[in-house]
Structure 1
Amino acid sequence: LGTTVVTWTATDASGNITTRSFNVIVVDNQAPVITAPSNISIQIGEDDDSATDVELGTPTTSDNCGVEDVSNDAPATFPVGATTVIWTVTDDSGNTATAEQTVTVTREILPTITAPGNITMDTDGGSCEASEVDLGNPQVTGEDIPSDGISNDAPSTFPIGATIVTWTVVDGNGNTATDQQTVNVEDN
């Protein structure tokens, strides 16, 4: 790569010598190769507007003569939605190539739970407690809630008076929400 001087020498039978030189110029017109890191999906809190300190990874590069620089146009913060990051590789001769990486930011949807309505009921006959109480079903919203993600702390029997039942929902990311229901048991 670059300029090489080639000198030709001619010598006749009497020993006379003549030389002539010329330049051979080798130019690198071959672009480097770049493969961007894998696309990234990031989930931020429901009250956040953007993602910061995103680890983009490292691209793979190669060139026939040598890589001089690798850069990208990533912003300092990534807003909600898809952002395309352009990676650029420059070789020793100034040839460039680019590759794209997509960073997708979504807001985390936290679960919510609304307990069933409060209940007032009588004690079981001949007992100071109520058993087999139908608490109803809570209303739940959220994403990725496993089948065992909804629970309550209701006792098996309810004594006379007010008992607070706490309902809990836990999504697949470990986010929780709670709500309460009151069960009033009267001795009539």
Structure 2
Amino acid sequence: MTYNRRIALSVCAASAALLLSACGGGSSSDVPSASATFKDALVVGLPYTCKPSGVTGKTDAEGKLTCKQGEEAEFHLGAMSFGPTAVRENDVITPYRIYPDNNEAAVNMAQLLQSLDDDGIYDEVITIDETKLNAVTINLDPTSSTFDTDADKMLSDYNSSLSLVAEGDAEAHMNNSINDTVAPIVTLQGDTAVEVIIGSPYEDAGAKANDDVHGMMTPVMSGSVNTAVLGRYTITWTATDAAGNTGRATRTIDVVNAPDTTAPVVTLAGSTTVHIDQDSIYTDAGATATDNIDGTIAPVMSGTVNTAVAGTYMITYTAEDSAGNIGTATRTVIVDEVVPVDTVAPVVTLIGAATVHVDQDSTYTDAGATANDNVDGVITPVMSGTVNTAVAGTYTITYTAEDTAGNIGTVARTVIVDAAASVCQNVNPITGACEDTPVVTQCQNVNPITGACEDI
């Protein structure tokens, strides 16, 4: 048998909203058509239904059909239906396209189409008339392993002159018509290069395959990834069409260590807060730094301390690892203002004389004292001691003043209470003989002694 022509079913796809009457089924003539070809000789008179619109028709003399853009077409042979398959602009539909994952089913479909040609000469055109449509009395399943037997019996039961075209002849005719030399296009889902953290699970994102003849195909994956071992791995997705054309796509997977997100630990030598005297010399105690990956790192110091000026200063140590993580530690340095040590006691000054005489039984009120300090200034001194004017004697009144530095100054006043003298008034003159010696008392205004005494 010779195969000098392609066998084609042309499919015309309209715009999204209108049917193309030029393709044999619509009413709009002002929308340009787009055609696709079903390869296994032009199939004329093949019933179809557009889904989901429900538009029905038969392929015209050029093997074309009309559906809305984006719809699917389901084909009918008597009691049998096959498809649906997408109707796309400038597309090619083949039995391989209808059964992308089952080459045997595609060949079975070609066998039946070729067997139903009205004149048995299907090199150029397969024409299916109503009589041949009626020959398909059962809903045959092209994927069934008994398809050849079931189809041949169905045809011979309808008309003893009908028989199923041999499988090998049908496949050779279809492949010769298609003349497929283009490999399927395999497209990876996801990135072509992937990094996986060691020890974590990996599941490939998969791939899709599309063939110009077979349509969508299921690619096969090869290769594996051992996420327990660092290294580079490849996963390859392969799709081979019925003509033996092979397409492939490869993904590279690198198993890597987990990224370093831990900052170095910076540790200050010495206290985090330091006090120093103003105008002294300050040398920072330093710091060390360690990293979980890089080990020991030399931290860098920033900040200065001006010991001439009292205040608070910050010294910061910074360490950065090879992954760019930064750790810091800060010391607070407080420069304290130096205040001279006060060792001078307040000066306490008495008001009035340091020694005072008062008469016994008189009233005594001390004149007081004042106090002045070289730092604190005027201070109020505190008096201690008492004077009992009822009892003659010497008493001490002390004034004490203490400054804020604890220095104490004192001063004392001596108060002498003098005993009172006896006063005799209107004392009669001493008269009489001189046998007795007169007694002279401490009296004032004593009358003179008179008498005739030789010795007193």
Tell me by how many angstroms 1:85 deviates.
0.6
Aligned twin of 1:157: 333
Distance 1:123 1:151 in 2: 21
Count of aligned residue pairs for this structure pair: 137
Which residues of structure 2 form unaligned runs of 5+?
1-39, 41-109, 115-119, 124-164, 295-320, 335-456
CA shift for structure 1 position 84: 0.8
Residue matched to 1:144 = 323
Q: Residue 52 of structure 1 aligns to a residue in which SS?
A: coil
Structure of higher RCO (CA pairs closer than 8 Å, 6+ residues apart): 1
2:209 maps to 1:61: yes
Q: Among 177, 183, 188, which residue is 1:36 paired with?
A: 188
Deviation at 1:113, TM superposition (A): 3.0
Q: Is the 8 A contact 1:86 1:100 kept in 2?
A: yes
Please list, as runs of the form range in 1=range in 2, the aligned pairs for 1:29-108 lying within 5 A after superposition.
29-30=180-181, 31-37=183-189, 38-44=191-197, 48=198, 50-54=199-203, 56-66=204-214, 67-75=216-224, 77-78=226-227, 79-91=229-241, 95-108=245-258
- Check whether the contact 1:109–1:143 (CA below 8 A) recurs between aligned residues: no
CA distance in 1, matches of 2:268, 2:192: 46
CA deviations 1:125-149 (Å, max 9, x no partner) are 26xxxx8845346355344315xx2
1:4-60 CA-to-partner distances (Å, cap 9, x unmatched) read 35269xxxxxxxxxxxx997702154321213353333252xxx4x43133x33435
Measure the CA separation in 2 of the matches of 1:82 and 1:108.
15
**Deviation by residue 1:53-79 (Cα, 9 ceiling, x = unmatched):** 33x334353211223322212436433
- Stretches of structure 1 that go unaligned for 5 or more consecutive residues are 9-20, 159-188
1:25 to 167, 173, 178: 173
Output the TM-score relative to the length of structure 2. Answer: 0.24
- Residue correspondence of structure 1 range 1-20 to structure 2 within 5 A: 1=40, 2=110, 4=114, 5-6=120-121
Q: Is the 8 A contact 1:69 1:91 kept in 2?
A: no
Aligned residue identity for 2:252: T
CA distance 1:134–1:73, shift in 2 (3 Å): same
2:276 to 110, 124, 133: 124
Residue aligned with 2:173, SS: strand
Contact 1:73 1:86 in 2 (8 A): yes
The alpha carbon displacement at 1:83 in A equals: 0.2
| Secondary structure at 1:75 match in 2 | coil
Listed one character per residue, the Cα deviations across residues 75-129 of structure 1 (whole Å, up to 9, x for unaligned) are: 3643311101111124366643222110011112534635457337984126xxx
The 3-state SS of whatever aligns with 1:150 is strand
Counterpart residue type for residue 193 of structure 2 = I
CA contact (8 A) 2:210 2:217 kept: no
Question: 1:25 aligns to what SS in structure 2?
Answer: helix
User: How big is the alpha-carbon RMSD for the aligned residues of Structure 1 and Structure 2?
Assistant: 4.3
Q: Mean alpha-carbon deviation: is it higher for 116-125 or for 89-98? A: 116-125
- 1:13 is aligned to none
Q: 1:144 to 1:39 in 2, by over 3 A?
A: farther
Give TM-score, length-normalised by structure 1. 0.51
Max Rg structure? 2
**Percent identical residues:** 13
